[in-house]
Chains A and B, each alone.
Chain A
Amino acid sequence: EVQLVESGGGLVQPGRSLKLSCAASGFTFSDYNMAWVRQAPTKGLEWVASISYGGSNTHYGDSVKGRFTISRDNAKSTLYLQMDSLRSEDTATYYCARPRYYGSYNWFAYWGQGTLVTVSS
């Protein structure tokens, strides 16, 4: 069974940093591209970033480019999101997501339960 478990969320002050983790199990993590998607309270879904299965290719949403860094450790089956220079508008539940099959990256068949990040002084 595919499982994605996010951690690392919490309350952080504006301008500070936070690193999210997503522990994957139930599939060969190193075969799959991965992504982060977020959802601000009572708002819609926003794609944040994607990373290729080997980690060499990354893509970012306009609102986080230059501030967030997606990375992965295939040996640990873990996905990361380093968030720097956090702003109040980054407040959201952050989901780790996996595409439907290996080689794909266009849509997300598996989602974690999400971890809440609150940026406030």
Chain B
Amino acid sequence: DIQMTQSPHSLSASLGETVSIECLASEGISNYLAWYQQKPGKSPQLLIYYASSLQDGVPSRFSGSGSGTQYSLKISNMQPEDEGVYYCQQGYKYPFTFGSGTKLEIK
């Protein structure tokens, strides 16, 4: 199975700040990488797919990059509604696997 190592486990950011979350796959996943945001008590929301494609309706301050085994999610101009837990997920091969999550809070 492909292991997804996500970092950091948690971080806090000030409004307007830019933050990055990293995801490392245990083997190459050819950009088959998605990012999700989950708020307390809510279902996950797809933000980015195929490593860098922005899902419909997601603000452009979210962006994804990476290749091979290393991927990252960048949130520019941090907003209050960006608080939540972020997960990466590889969709390259079964079984699909998620990262352990990054909790993002406002400082």
Interface residues of A (CB under 8 A from B): 37, 44-47, 50, 59-62, 95, 100, 105-109, 111-114
Contacts and interface: CB of A to CB of B under 8 A. Distances in A.
Interface of B: 1, 32, 34, 36, 38, 43-46, 49, 55, 87, 89, 91-92, 94-101
B55 A46 contact: no
Given A46-B98, A47-B95, A106-B49, 8 more contacts: A50-B94, A62-B1, A100-B49, A100-B55, A106-B91, A108-B34, A109-B49, A113-B43
A113 B91 CA distance: 22
7 contacts: A44-B101, A45-B44, A47-B96, A100-B55, A107-B91, A108-B46, A109-B55
Contacts of A106: 32, 34, 49, 91-92, 96
A100 B99 CA distance: 20
A100 B101 CA distance: 21
Per CB-CB distance, the 4 closest pairs between chain A and chain B, nearest first, are A106-B91, A107-B34, A111-B43, A47-B96
Nearest to B53: A100
B95 A59 contact: yes
Given A62-B1, A106-B32, A45 B98 contact: yes
Contact of B94 (A59, A107, A114): A59
Contact of A45 (B32, B36, B91, B94): B36
Contacts of B36: 45
Contacts of B98: 44-47
Contact of B49 (A61, A95, A107, A112): A107
Contact of B43 (A44, A46, A60, A95): A95
